[in-house]
Amino acid sequence: MESSRAQTIARDVLAILVVAIFMFPIAWWALSSIKPYSAIFDRSGPVYTGFTPTPDNYRVTLLGVSRVDIGMEQGGEAAGVIKGGASSYDSRQSLLDSAIIAVGSTALTLLLATLAAYCLSRMQFSGQQSFLFWILSQRFMPPIAIVIPIVFMFRDLGLRDTYTGLILVHSLINLPLAVLLLKSFFDDVPREVDEAALIDGATRWQTFRRVVLPMVKGGIAATAVLCFIFSWTEFLLSLFLTTSIRTVPVKISTFVTSTATEWGYITALGTSAIIPSFIFILLVQRHLVRGLTLGSLKE
Protein backbone atom coordinates (compact mmCIF):
# COMPACT_ATOMS: atom_id res chain seq x y z
CA MET A 1 0.00 0.00 0.00
CA GLU A 2 1.42 3.34 -1.06
CA SER A 3 1.05 6.04 1.50
CA SER A 4 1.84 9.69 1.19
CA ARG A 5 4.66 11.41 3.00
CA ALA A 6 2.24 13.28 5.25
CA GLN A 7 0.60 10.00 6.29
CA THR A 8 3.96 8.47 7.08
CA ILE A 9 4.92 11.37 9.31
CA ALA A 10 1.54 11.36 11.02
CA ARG A 11 1.97 7.68 11.76
CA ASP A 12 5.46 8.19 13.16
CA VAL A 13 4.28 11.00 15.41
CA LEU A 14 1.33 8.97 16.64
CA ALA A 15 3.47 5.88 17.28
CA ILE A 16 6.03 7.87 19.25
CA LEU A 17 3.26 9.61 21.21
CA VAL A 18 1.58 6.31 22.14
CA VAL A 19 4.84 4.74 23.28
CA ALA A 20 5.73 7.92 25.19
CA ILE A 21 2.41 7.72 27.07
CA PHE A 22 3.25 4.17 28.08
CA MET A 23 6.73 5.20 29.19
CA PHE A 24 5.49 8.16 31.22
CA PRO A 25 4.68 6.34 34.50
CA ILE A 26 8.12 4.71 34.53
CA ALA A 27 9.85 7.99 33.73
CA TRP A 28 7.86 9.88 36.35
CA TRP A 29 8.69 7.18 38.88
CA ALA A 30 12.42 7.27 38.14
CA LEU A 31 12.36 11.07 38.22
CA SER A 32 10.66 11.06 41.61
CA SER A 33 13.36 8.79 43.00
CA ILE A 34 16.01 11.51 42.64
CA LYS A 35 13.80 14.32 43.86
CA PRO A 36 14.21 15.88 47.26
CA TYR A 37 11.28 15.46 49.65
CA SER A 38 9.82 18.89 48.92
CA ALA A 39 9.66 18.32 45.15
CA ILE A 40 7.78 15.02 45.49
CA PHE A 41 5.13 16.52 47.74
CA ASP A 42 4.76 19.80 45.87
CA ARG A 43 1.05 20.60 45.90
CA SER A 44 1.25 23.49 43.45
CA GLY A 45 1.83 21.25 40.42
CA PRO A 46 4.01 18.53 38.93
CA VAL A 47 7.75 19.18 39.24
CA TYR A 48 9.72 18.16 36.15
CA THR A 49 12.80 20.35 36.44
CA GLY A 50 14.21 22.97 38.72
CA PHE A 51 15.02 20.73 41.66
CA THR A 52 18.44 19.61 42.85
CA PRO A 53 18.74 15.88 42.13
CA THR A 54 19.65 13.90 45.22
CA PRO A 55 20.97 10.35 45.65
CA ASP A 56 19.71 10.23 49.24
CA ASN A 57 16.78 7.89 48.55
CA TYR A 58 19.15 5.38 46.98
CA ARG A 59 21.68 5.81 49.75
CA VAL A 60 19.06 4.89 52.33
CA THR A 61 17.50 1.95 50.47
CA LEU A 62 20.51 0.46 48.67
CA LEU A 63 23.46 1.44 50.85
CA GLY A 64 21.74 1.32 54.20
CA VAL A 65 22.76 4.85 55.17
CA SER A 66 20.68 5.89 58.15
CA ARG A 67 18.38 8.76 57.39
CA VAL A 68 19.29 10.41 60.63
CA ASP A 69 22.85 10.71 59.27
CA ILE A 70 21.50 12.25 56.08
CA GLY A 71 19.53 14.69 58.15
CA MET A 72 22.72 15.61 60.03
CA GLU A 73 24.54 16.29 56.74
CA GLN A 74 21.81 18.67 55.72
CA GLY A 75 22.17 20.67 58.88
CA GLY A 76 21.57 19.96 62.52
CA GLU A 77 18.00 21.17 62.85
CA ALA A 78 16.68 18.75 60.20
CA ALA A 79 17.93 15.77 62.19
CA GLY A 80 15.73 16.64 65.09
CA VAL A 81 12.63 16.65 62.91
CA ILE A 82 13.18 13.24 61.35
CA LYS A 83 11.68 10.52 63.45
CA GLY A 84 11.68 6.74 63.35
CA GLY A 85 14.50 4.25 62.83
CA ALA A 86 16.45 4.13 59.61
CA SER A 87 17.05 0.39 59.51
CA SER A 88 13.57 -0.48 58.23
CA TYR A 89 14.26 1.32 54.95
CA ASP A 90 17.57 -0.44 54.32
CA SER A 91 16.56 -2.86 51.55
CA ARG A 92 19.82 -4.70 50.88
CA GLN A 93 18.56 -7.81 52.64
CA SER A 94 15.34 -7.74 50.59
CA LEU A 95 17.22 -7.54 47.32
CA LEU A 96 19.31 -10.51 48.43
CA ASP A 97 16.21 -12.46 49.56
CA SER A 98 14.48 -11.80 46.25
CA ALA A 99 17.56 -12.80 44.27
CA ILE A 100 18.04 -16.05 46.20
CA ILE A 101 14.38 -17.00 45.81
CA ALA A 102 14.22 -16.03 42.13
CA VAL A 103 17.41 -17.89 41.21
CA GLY A 104 16.49 -20.91 43.33
CA SER A 105 12.99 -21.25 41.95
CA THR A 106 14.18 -20.72 38.38
CA ALA A 107 16.72 -23.52 38.77
CA LEU A 108 14.23 -25.91 40.35
CA THR A 109 11.58 -25.09 37.74
CA LEU A 110 13.96 -25.67 34.85
CA LEU A 111 15.17 -28.96 36.29
CA LEU A 112 11.67 -30.39 36.65
CA ALA A 113 10.24 -28.79 33.52
CA THR A 114 12.92 -29.81 31.00
CA LEU A 115 12.47 -33.47 31.95
CA ALA A 116 8.70 -33.29 31.65
CA ALA A 117 8.75 -31.17 28.50
CA TYR A 118 11.16 -33.51 26.69
CA CYS A 119 9.01 -36.50 27.57
CA LEU A 120 5.77 -34.78 26.52
CA SER A 121 7.38 -33.73 23.26
CA ARG A 122 8.97 -37.08 22.38
CA MET A 123 7.03 -39.96 23.88
CA GLN A 124 3.49 -41.12 23.31
CA PHE A 125 1.53 -42.53 26.16
CA SER A 126 -2.10 -42.88 27.08
CA GLY A 127 -3.50 -39.90 28.89
CA GLN A 128 -0.88 -37.58 27.43
CA GLN A 129 -3.38 -34.89 26.47
CA SER A 130 -5.03 -35.09 29.89
CA PHE A 131 -1.64 -34.79 31.56
CA LEU A 132 -0.87 -31.68 29.51
CA PHE A 133 -4.24 -30.21 30.33
CA TRP A 134 -3.71 -30.95 34.00
CA ILE A 135 -0.44 -29.03 33.94
CA LEU A 136 -2.09 -26.17 32.07
CA SER A 137 -4.95 -26.07 34.57
CA GLN A 138 -2.40 -25.42 37.32
CA ARG A 139 -1.58 -22.17 35.54
CA PHE A 140 -5.20 -21.08 35.96
CA MET A 141 -5.28 -21.78 39.67
CA PRO A 142 -5.89 -18.56 41.62
CA PRO A 143 -3.03 -18.19 44.14
CA ILE A 144 -5.52 -17.26 46.83
CA ALA A 145 -7.11 -20.74 46.54
CA ILE A 146 -3.94 -22.60 47.46
CA VAL A 147 -2.13 -20.14 49.67
CA ILE A 148 -4.32 -20.63 52.74
CA PRO A 149 -3.69 -24.40 53.06
CA ILE A 150 -0.04 -23.87 52.14
CA VAL A 151 0.31 -21.56 55.14
CA PHE A 152 -0.82 -24.41 57.44
CA MET A 153 1.20 -27.01 55.60
CA PHE A 154 4.37 -24.91 55.79
CA ARG A 155 3.80 -24.28 59.48
CA ASP A 156 3.69 -28.04 60.09
CA LEU A 157 6.71 -28.71 57.88
CA GLY A 158 8.71 -25.80 59.27
CA LEU A 159 8.84 -24.15 55.84
CA ARG A 160 7.03 -20.98 56.81
CA ASP A 161 9.20 -17.91 56.33
CA THR A 162 12.04 -19.87 54.71
CA TYR A 163 13.78 -19.55 51.36
CA THR A 164 12.98 -23.19 50.60
CA GLY A 165 9.28 -22.63 51.14
CA LEU A 166 9.03 -19.68 48.81
CA ILE A 167 11.28 -21.34 46.22
CA LEU A 168 8.95 -24.35 46.18
CA VAL A 169 5.82 -22.24 45.82
CA HIS A 170 7.22 -19.98 43.12
CA SER A 171 8.37 -23.08 41.23
CA LEU A 172 4.90 -24.53 41.50
CA ILE A 173 3.41 -21.42 39.90
CA ASN A 174 6.10 -21.30 37.21
CA LEU A 175 6.00 -24.99 36.24
CA PRO A 176 3.03 -24.89 33.85
CA LEU A 177 4.52 -22.02 31.85
CA ALA A 178 7.95 -23.65 31.81
CA VAL A 179 6.67 -27.08 30.72
CA LEU A 180 4.44 -25.76 27.94
CA LEU A 181 7.05 -23.31 26.71
CA LEU A 182 9.91 -25.81 26.76
CA LYS A 183 7.71 -28.40 25.07
CA SER A 184 7.19 -25.96 22.20
CA PHE A 185 10.96 -25.53 21.90
CA PHE A 186 11.55 -29.31 21.97
CA ASP A 187 8.83 -29.67 19.32
CA ASP A 188 10.94 -27.42 17.07
CA VAL A 189 13.75 -29.98 17.08
CA PRO A 190 12.96 -32.65 14.46
CA ARG A 191 12.39 -36.14 15.83
CA GLU A 192 14.92 -37.45 13.29
CA VAL A 193 17.64 -35.95 15.48
CA ASP A 194 16.67 -38.24 18.36
CA GLU A 195 16.23 -41.23 16.09
CA ALA A 196 19.68 -40.75 14.57
CA ALA A 197 21.27 -40.57 18.02
CA LEU A 198 19.38 -43.64 19.22
CA ILE A 199 20.39 -45.64 16.16
CA ASP A 200 24.00 -44.65 16.77
CA GLY A 201 23.71 -46.43 20.10
CA ALA A 202 23.04 -43.54 22.46
CA THR A 203 20.63 -44.23 25.29
CA ARG A 204 17.49 -42.14 25.66
CA TRP A 205 19.11 -40.21 28.51
CA GLN A 206 22.28 -39.51 26.51
CA THR A 207 20.18 -38.38 23.56
CA PHE A 208 18.36 -35.94 25.79
CA ARG A 209 21.38 -34.71 27.69
CA ARG A 210 24.02 -34.55 24.95
CA VAL A 211 22.07 -34.05 21.74
CA VAL A 212 18.67 -32.41 22.18
CA LEU A 213 19.27 -30.26 25.26
CA PRO A 214 22.11 -28.25 23.68
CA MET A 215 19.87 -27.58 20.68
CA VAL A 216 17.23 -25.79 22.78
CA LYS A 217 19.66 -23.61 24.75
CA GLY A 218 17.99 -20.41 23.51
CA GLY A 219 14.59 -21.67 24.57
CA ILE A 220 15.85 -22.62 28.00
CA ALA A 221 17.37 -19.17 28.44
CA ALA A 222 14.08 -17.52 27.49
CA THR A 223 12.16 -19.77 29.89
CA ALA A 224 14.65 -19.02 32.66
CA VAL A 225 14.23 -15.28 32.19
CA LEU A 226 10.44 -15.47 32.35
CA CYS A 227 10.57 -17.66 35.47
CA PHE A 228 13.06 -15.30 37.09
CA ILE A 229 10.93 -12.24 36.35
CA PHE A 230 7.80 -13.93 37.68
CA SER A 231 9.46 -14.82 40.96
CA TRP A 232 11.14 -11.42 41.21
CA THR A 233 7.81 -9.60 40.80
CA GLU A 234 5.46 -11.98 42.64
CA PHE A 235 3.52 -10.41 45.49
CA LEU A 236 0.58 -12.35 46.95
CA LEU A 237 2.34 -15.60 47.90
CA SER A 238 5.36 -13.81 49.34
CA LEU A 239 3.06 -11.60 51.37
CA PHE A 240 1.17 -14.55 52.89
CA LEU A 241 4.06 -16.97 53.39
CA THR A 242 6.79 -14.83 54.91
CA THR A 243 7.22 -12.47 57.80
CA SER A 244 10.93 -11.88 58.34
CA ILE A 245 12.02 -12.67 54.78
CA ARG A 246 10.79 -9.80 52.69
CA THR A 247 10.95 -9.97 48.90
CA VAL A 248 11.34 -6.60 47.20
CA PRO A 249 7.65 -6.10 46.19
CA VAL A 250 6.51 -6.92 49.73
CA LYS A 251 9.25 -4.71 51.21
CA ILE A 252 8.09 -1.79 49.08
CA SER A 253 4.53 -2.21 50.31
CA THR A 254 5.76 -1.90 53.90
CA PHE A 255 7.01 1.62 53.17
CA VAL A 256 3.39 2.72 53.31
CA THR A 257 2.85 3.12 57.03
CA SER A 258 -0.02 4.52 59.01
CA THR A 259 1.86 7.75 59.60
CA ALA A 260 3.52 8.37 56.24
CA THR A 261 4.12 7.04 52.76
CA GLU A 262 7.83 7.25 52.05
CA TRP A 263 7.62 8.02 48.34
CA GLY A 264 11.31 8.81 48.05
CA TYR A 265 12.36 5.36 49.26
CA ILE A 266 9.53 3.61 47.44
CA THR A 267 10.49 5.09 44.08
CA ALA A 268 14.20 4.50 44.65
CA LEU A 269 13.75 0.83 45.54
CA GLY A 270 11.12 0.40 42.81
CA THR A 271 13.43 1.81 40.16
CA SER A 272 16.25 -0.45 41.32
CA ALA A 273 13.94 -3.48 41.23
CA ILE A 274 12.80 -2.79 37.67
CA ILE A 275 16.26 -2.47 36.11
CA PRO A 276 17.32 -6.17 36.21
CA SER A 277 13.98 -7.23 34.70
CA PHE A 278 14.34 -4.67 31.91
CA ILE A 279 17.77 -5.93 30.98
CA PHE A 280 16.70 -9.58 31.05
CA ILE A 281 13.55 -9.05 29.01
CA LEU A 282 15.41 -7.16 26.30
CA LEU A 283 17.81 -10.10 26.03
CA VAL A 284 15.02 -12.55 25.20
CA GLN A 285 12.83 -10.31 23.03
CA ARG A 286 12.87 -12.90 20.27
CA HIS A 287 11.04 -15.53 22.31
CA LEU A 288 8.90 -13.20 24.39
CA VAL A 289 5.58 -13.70 22.61
CA ARG A 290 5.98 -17.44 22.71
CA GLY A 291 6.56 -17.16 26.43
CA LEU A 292 3.57 -14.90 27.02
CA THR A 293 1.26 -17.33 25.22
CA LEU A 294 2.59 -20.43 27.02
CA GLY A 295 4.26 -21.69 23.86
CA SER A 296 1.11 -21.69 21.75
CA LEU A 297 2.24 -18.88 19.46
CA LYS A 298 5.60 -18.90 17.73
CA GLU A 299 7.20 -15.98 15.97
Partner 1 sequence: MSTPTVTRETPRWALPRFMTAEHPFPWLAPITVMLLVFGIYPLAYSVWLSFHKRNVVSRQLDFAGLHQWTRAFSDARMWHSLETTLIYTFVALAVQLALGILIALLLDTDRKGYGVLRALMTLPLVVPPAVTGMMFLLMQDGSFGVLSFYLYALDLISPAQPILTQPGTALAAILLADIWQWTPFMVLIILAGLRALPKEPFEAAAIDGATGIQTFWRLTLPMLRKVIAVAVLIRGVDLFRIYDYVYIITAGGPGTATETLSFYAGRIYFTGDFPYAATLSLIVLVVLIVVSNVFVRLFKVRF
Name residues contacting partner 1, limited to 207-246 (CB under 8 A).
Answer: 208, 229, 232-236, 239-240
* Three-class DSSP category at 256: strand
189 Cβ contact partners less than 8 Å away, ≥ 6 residues apart:
212, 215, 216
34 binds partner 1 (CB under 8 A): no
Is 73 or 111 the residue whose CB approaches partner 1 more closely?
111
Stretch that binds partner 1, among 51-59, 65-73, 78-86, 143-151 (CB under 8 A): 143-151
Closest distance between partner 1 and the C-beta of residue 31, in Å? Answer: 10
Sign of the Cα torsion 110, 115, 118, 124 reads: negative
CA distance 128 to 136: 12
CA distance 247 to 63: 17
257 binds partner 1 (CB under 8 A): no
Stretch that binds partner 1, among 42-50, 59-67, 99-107, 213-221 (CB under 8 A): 42-50
Is 69 or 206 the residue whose CB approaches partner 1 more closely?
206
Is 29 or 51 the residue whose CB approaches partner 1 more closely?
29
Among 9, 19, 196, 260, binds partner 1 (CB under 8 A): 19
118 binds partner 1 (CB under 8 A): yes
168 binds partner 1 (CB under 8 A): yes
202 binds partner 1 (CB under 8 A): no
| Burial of 138 from C-beta contacts in 10 A (0-12 / 13-18 / 19+) | middle
CA distance 81 to 76: 10
Stretch that binds partner 1, among 62-70, 99-107, 186-194, 261-269 (CB under 8 A): 261-269
